[in-house]
Structure 1
Amino acid sequence: MAHRSLDRLDKKILHLISEDARIPFLEVARACNVSGAAIHQRIQKLTNLGVIKGSQFIIDPERIGYETCAFIGLNLKNPEKFDDVVEALRQIPEIVECHYTTGEYDLFLKIYAYNNHHLMSVIHDKLMPLGLSRSESSISYNAVIDRTLPIEGMKVDDIVLEDEEEEEE
């Protein structure tokens, strides 16, 4: 497979749109001293490469009533049922992240709940029936660091991507 690295323009575009996903392409173009069409093409390229995974509004869970954030480590009774368990976890809307991890747990979840009672209900009614040998919960008091990866500090030469398309040699 061919490799393609990000250049300085890609890096600057990523920095600008990571600061404000709603920034108009023409404003990005002005900041980068290129045309709006060039920005559109670059963003399309970055999307096709999987660098940009979409754009979204970030909703504050507390503002819509989800006051409890918890991290839950899960161990499966039957690891061969991993795919079935993950598919079942996808159906639980309170789960916002699920990671397959090394270490103490098979899976590590981030869950939002209205309150501790709701969290207990999610664990008891939705997680335990999936065939767990063990679960361990930690409630987050507050996210003291919540950010995306910095673009500015990355060295351009250190960023290498696998291109999904094979280049003809």
Structure 2
Amino acid sequence: MMKKTVFALSSALLSVAAAPLASAHCQIPCGIYADDNVFVTMHKDQETIEKAMNQINELSKDAGKNANQLTRWVNNKEQHAQNIQDTVAKYFLAQRVKLDEAEKDAATYTKKLTLLHKITVLAMKCKQTTDLENAKKLHAALDEFQAVYAGKASAKAEVKPHTHADGTTHSH
């Protein structure tokens, strides 16, 4: 009897531990996720990618001594780039950019899709390299998509001031 109880408890714990984590962006109309919060999170992910690239480049000067920290920064960079890609796919493409927009305003719909594809590719390039130019292009693409998504007439629409990993603050 005791063995069965222990086995049942172990099985229950393993099934809970092995259960997939809930996605941050459910695909039901819950109304919990506000677009502004999603954009803030995506910008934080981009800033983290940029900071990770800087750290990786610096730590690589003595890779043997810094192997553990290098690994941690690479993993961190990868995860934040993946977060952006997941948000594009699971939040914007699956839920927020609506199919009927193509009929109402094909040019804006196409611009949104093009920018979301650009963001996805740039996030991938951030995974592949530590080239800060990719992080900067990702930042610009996020800003541009945010402006188009918000319905601003220009891709250079006002964006709130924000601070980069290197401490510089500006708006576009």
Pair in the same fold by TM > 0.5: no
Compare the two structures and name the one with the higher helix fraction. 2
Q: Give the structure-1-normalised TM-score.
A: 0.24
Q: Which has the higher contact order (CA 8 A, sep 6+)?
A: 1
